[in-house]
């Protein structure tokens, strides 16, 4: 069986790239040059285009100081918040994930914050 990333997951990766780029005060052109890709490619990733080459996306994440595991965990954290809230991520949830990606908060701290907000006990 062949599986494909959902449009929401692809859009969220694009949102992570955009937020990380902006927090580092980089233009799309600057990020593209550092990652060895075109500015158009950066725009497509940020827009959530599904056909982006994984190797190029990994180069972009590397330039931003991110890795696939951190990005995946941050997206999972957003998903958990979305499930608990019953809607798309709030600005608070996106900010929580941004703090993790920027190294300002640990993943455990973010999970504890989410558990405290929604009143559940963490099992991991």
Domains for the chain: give ranges and CATH numbers: 7-63 (1.10.260.40), 68-118 (no CATH)
Nearest alpha-carbon partner for 28 in 43, 12, 45, 16: 43
Q: Cβ distance 20 to 101 under 8 Å?
A: yes
| Per-residue pLDDT, 2 | 45
**pLDDT score, position 6:** 55
Model pLDDT, residue 43: 95
Residues of the chain with pLDDT under 70: 1-9, 78, 81-82, 86-90, 124
Q: Which pLDDT score, from 0 to 100, does residue 26 have?
A: 94
Instruction: Kindly report the average pLDDT of the chain as a whole number.
Output: 81
């Amino acid at each position: 069986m062949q599986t494909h990333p959902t449009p929401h997951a692809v859009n969220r990766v694009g949102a992570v790239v955009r937020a990380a780029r902006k927090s580092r005060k980089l233009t799309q052109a600057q990020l593209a040059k550092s990652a060895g890709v075109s500015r158009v490619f950066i725009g497509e990733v940020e827009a959530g285009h599904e056909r982006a080459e994984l190797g190029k996306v990994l180069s972009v994440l590397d330039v931003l100081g991110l890795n696939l595991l951190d990005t995946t965990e941050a997206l999972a954290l957003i998903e958990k918040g979305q499930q608990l809230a019953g809607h798309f991520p709030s600005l608070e949830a996106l900010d929580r994930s941004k703090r993790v990606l920027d190294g300002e908060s640990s993943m455990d701290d973010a999970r504890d914050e989410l558990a405290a907000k929604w009143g559940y006990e963490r099992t991991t």
